[in-house]
């Protein structure tokens, strides 16, 4: 029997020492292979397309075209490579923009050394990955900025809805939730619609953002 193919990765960052360090860490795992590197956005697009990489690790701030522009270009060309954004920004605006752009991973540079392998494998398996440190920061900043009497009424949710929202916070897919709760995927979708309606959430990623920020309250 043949061996399983390795997960093919391109690293795009304009700091060569950081790229080298990241590459060394990634390649300590036999299941991973770095097939290309890029120091700017345009080179990253060309490298990802040429190598048919499974995962692109993209610095948000790069010369020429930033990480957002790279991801948009990949989507426009129909390239199915999944993207993990690397950033120094602990900023809700960047995080929200990354989700809207379609990034499956969001890793803080300061914790990339310890998280990069897990993030690659998580995203490759079809789930989202967010640095735990960032999730904690977003929760704390949201609470500090929002008076208690203006916070969404989690209390209005049923026990089942809270359970589903906790799973959403852990980036479980509808199928994974359905399998765990022994219900149909359509029932999960119905629950998600009801939760969004109760919490007055709109937009395709609004429920995920809410779940991540309010997980301790669920």
pTM of the model: 0.65
The answer to whether 169 and 211 are in contact (CB under 8 A) is yes
Strands (E), 4-145: 7-12, 32-38, 55-59, 82-87, 105-108, 129-130
pLDDT in tens, 29-59: 999 999 999 999 999 999 999 999 999 999 9
CA atoms of 104 and 33, how far apart (whole Å): 19
Average pLDDT for 198-217? 82
Fold of 146-217: Arc Repressor Mutant, subunit A (1.10.10)
CA atoms of 101 and 83, how far apart (whole Å): 10
Q: How far is CA 10 from CA 100, 153, 165, in A?
A: 22, 43, 33
Residues linked to residue 7 through DSSP beta bridges, in sequence order: 32
* pLDDT score for 143: 53
How far is residue 134 CA from its own chain's centroid? 11
Angle (CA) 53 130 169, round 5°: 120
pLDDT in tens, 81-129: 999 999 887 777 778 788 778 899 999 888 898 999 999 999 999 988 9
- What's the token pair of residue 55? 């995962």
- What's the token pair of residue 75? 């989507």
Torsion angle defined by CA atoms of residues 76, 81, 82 and 85, in that order, rounded to the nearest 10 degrees: -80
Q: Is the pLDDT of residue 27 over 60?
A: yes
CA atoms of 9 and 120, how far apart (whole Å): 9
Radius of gyration of the chain from Cα atoms?
Answer: 19
User: Between 3.30.300.30, 3.40.630.30, 3.40.50.720, 3.40.50.2300, what CATH number should domain 7-137 receive?
Assistant: 3.40.50.2300
Largest CA distance in the chain: 61
pLDDT in tens, 46-92: 999 999 999 999 998 898 899 999 999 999 999 999 999 998 877 77
* pLDDT score for 137: 61
Hey, where are the domains in the chain?
A: 7-137, 146-217
């Amino acid at each position: 029997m043949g061996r399983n193919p390795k997960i093919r990765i391109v690293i795009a960052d304009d700091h060569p020492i950081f790229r080298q360090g990241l590459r060394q860490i990634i390649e300590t795992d036999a299941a991973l292979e770095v097939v290309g590197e890029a120091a700017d956005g345009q080179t990253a697009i060309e490298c990802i397309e040429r190598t048919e990489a499974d995962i692109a690790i993209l610095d948000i701030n790069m010369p020429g075209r930033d990480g957002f522009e790279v991801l948009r270009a990949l989507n426009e060309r129909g390239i199915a490579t999944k993207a993990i954004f690397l950033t120094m920004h602990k900023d809700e605006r960047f995080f929200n923009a990354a989700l809207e752009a379609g990034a499956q991973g969001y890793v803080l540079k300061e914790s990339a050394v310890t998280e990069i392998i897990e993030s690659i494998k998580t995203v490759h398996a079809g789930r989202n990955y967010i640095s735990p440190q960032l999730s904690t920061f977003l929760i704390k900043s949201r609470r500090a900025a929002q008076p208690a009497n203006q916070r969404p009424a989690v209390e209005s949710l049923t026990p089942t809805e809270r359970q589903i929202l906790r799973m959403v916070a852990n980036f479980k897919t509808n199928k994974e939730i359905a399998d765990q709760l022994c219900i149909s995927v359509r029932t999960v979708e119905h629950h998600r619609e009801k939760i969004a309606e109760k919490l007055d959430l709109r937009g395709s990623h609004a429920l995920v953002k809410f779940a991540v920020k309010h997980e301790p309250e669920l």
